[in-house]
Structure 1
Amino acid sequence: MATINIRSDIKDPFYRYKMERLQSKIEGKGNGIKTVIVNLSSVAQSLARPGSYVIKYFGFELGAQTNNNPADDRWIINGAHEASKLQDYLVGFINKFVLCKKCKNPETEVVIKDGSIVLDCKACGERSDVDLRLKLSGFILKTQPKKGKKDKAERKAARKARENGNGEVKENGNGHGSGGENISENGSNGDDVAIEAGSDDELTRRINAEAQVLDEEIEANDHEWTVDMSDEAVRARQMQLPEDLKQKLVLGDDDDEEGENGGISKYDQLGTWITSEVEVKGGVDKLDDVAIYLKAKELGIETKHRTLLVLVSTIFDDNMAKQVAKRAAMLKNVGTSEKHQKSILGGVERFIGLRAKEKPDIYEQTSKILVSLYNADLLTEDIIIKWGTKASKKYIDIATSKKVRKSAEPFLQWLAEAESDDDDGDSE
């Protein structure tokens, strides 16, 4: 894709700070019409700013609603807006929130301190204040990351800015170097469309709307989405499942793991219901996110971290790396705490390990799956790196656990290098 100068007033074709020209497409009709900015993530990365800053700025300028953190990388503004008009607004964003006030260089980082926003220029050393009267300034202050932790998107973008400043931009332009090129290429690419463009708010709205009539639906449509959950019926169905799902779905020693009197746990009930529905509907892609969440809610485990272990083990097939983006909003609705993330990683171990018994080449998918989960903000760097340091027999046998981590080394190495780059940049 052709690039343009970040500073629109500079016409020099050899100006080293470049970005892609905004690309947009208009979807829908009538009141449902919306504009999708196809390459906003790439543009925001070139500016060393989170995509949420850019899309929110457009929303303020246009007086339109936006989705500020889409799991599937589909950045949306309500209404129909031409790309050329958005490009003009982007110039305003760059002048106010990117360029150094002294040297006009875009090699700046956002620093938030004592309620003020400062642009710290890595080119000339100038630290200039951003006008706090601007609407986006309020948004930035309100959504700033916790102290000591940069926003993931900002950290990635900052690495991109440093590479731009050193004239070391790789040909692929992804700012991650050769170590991350293949991973990003094969990870979640935004082609998969989540519920209503991946909006977490939309998923929540649907869940709340359907939850209001949950009791009536269960009573009226019992044959459609409930099954016989007696111990005998569950065990019989488990014996009929494929080999990779016959193993008990939940392991560990949590108080809420087992059912009453050592019977079938609620997690096993959820897993068995999902596998039954997949068989009836003819594939995991036919299973609706809202139905899954409501079933977990019916069982009273919709926010339990162990629920994610069951979901990761059952709602994906061998195309998991591409399917994560569609399921991300629902998975985040369950929870994103450290325990929840560990359960997701445990689910990945079992997903890969059990399938590898019949399909050894599934190990090649490990890094791609982790990239998709990471890009969807379901996993953080710290949790992934810690997971990669030590095998565990909690979710799968120890030998298989080691193999899964071994197969994840390309991504783990990329993360470690990215962390090292951040540390070097912060100490300068």
Structure 2
Amino acid sequence: MDTLNIGGNEMDRFYRYKMPKLISKIEGKGNGIKTVVPNMSDIARSLGRPPTYPTKFFGCELGAQVKTDEKSDRYIVNGAHDAPKLQELLDVFIKKFVLCGGCNNPETDLIITGKSANTQKIILDCKACGQRTEVDMRHKLVTFILKHPPTPIKGKGKKEKKSKKNGEEEAESPTSPTRDSAEGSEDEFTKRIVAEASELPTADQDADDDNWAVDTSAEAVAERMKDLSLDIEDELEPHESLDVWLKENQGAKSNDVYKKIKELGISKETDLVLKYLVLNLFPEDSQKIETIEKQINKRVKLFQKFITSADDQLALLGATEELLARRKELMESKTLGVILMSYYQHDLLEEEVFQAWIEGSNSSKYKRLFKRNVSITYVDKEINQEIRDKAKPFAKWLEEAEEDDDDDDE
């Protein structure tokens, strides 16, 4: 297996601190497309962190749902993400949550201090230099770590018993009762055990105290399922809860959707809100142009609440990229043209922003218009280029429409 220096440290030429190179495997298609990281456990073991932490970090950075199953050793990020991109994000995770802030060494443990939510902090305790540095508590992963603190390494603090050799008796642990050679002491110890045992209830006594049968009535089953669903919901991040809610409430009114976004406290997280609004905009069976136009018209006022700048328009296009990557049937030139035209006609997308997006992040126009250097969502380069190729007829139409306007002005 290929190995890398942890954190990309080029000075460590002898690979003292190494980890496996990340492997990604894309499975499924359409809305079910997902990326599996088969060697996440090996990577996490090298970093001394639970595999759920880097997986959840990917979800936070990519705005994607993740699934972790430690029993079956499967770690999944929704969407199509290639290995170099995930490796790049893993390096960011390492710098934020693994490397010591003093000596840049990965020999650190995560320690949670404080009892209340307001005073809790996550500390990187370095075993190499002894320094303790604080983790940036503003990152979204922090909430997950506080809910799922790292478990202590098994075996620490336990003293092993010495095995018997050559007839010698095994060593006693400090907490175990010592055996006195005097017969009287052993009798007293035995008597104490017998006395305590006699006080325990017999099988007949506690037979009527507790009913161990499971209530299988419909009401009891429904109540247990309700508790289970609440536990699962508590595990979700607010933007993930929005995604689940939108899927379950496809026909909800825009006002109800807006209230739910406010309720979840993510109205200022424009990128994530637009991402899940777009991904849940069209039902699975909606491929007809009339249906697409109708769905966009239905949500126009809702989109307008969150699209107030060029960066917001770029986030809208980024979310549309991910939608098209998941649902290839919408990538036809004519269908994509209808989506872009609807954005344009409802002032959700300006011509200059669209042209900068077509030209790409290296163009001067792109750098001048947007604060961010890359699109908020990520799709493979090949898919990215395919989407832009499919969008060129609309770009040509915009140019011709502008020329016509110029002729009219003259």
Q: What is the TM-score with the length of structure 1 in the denominator?
A: 0.36
Q: Which structure exhibits the higher relative contact order, with contacts defined as CA atoms closer than 8 Å and separated by 6 or more residues?
A: 1
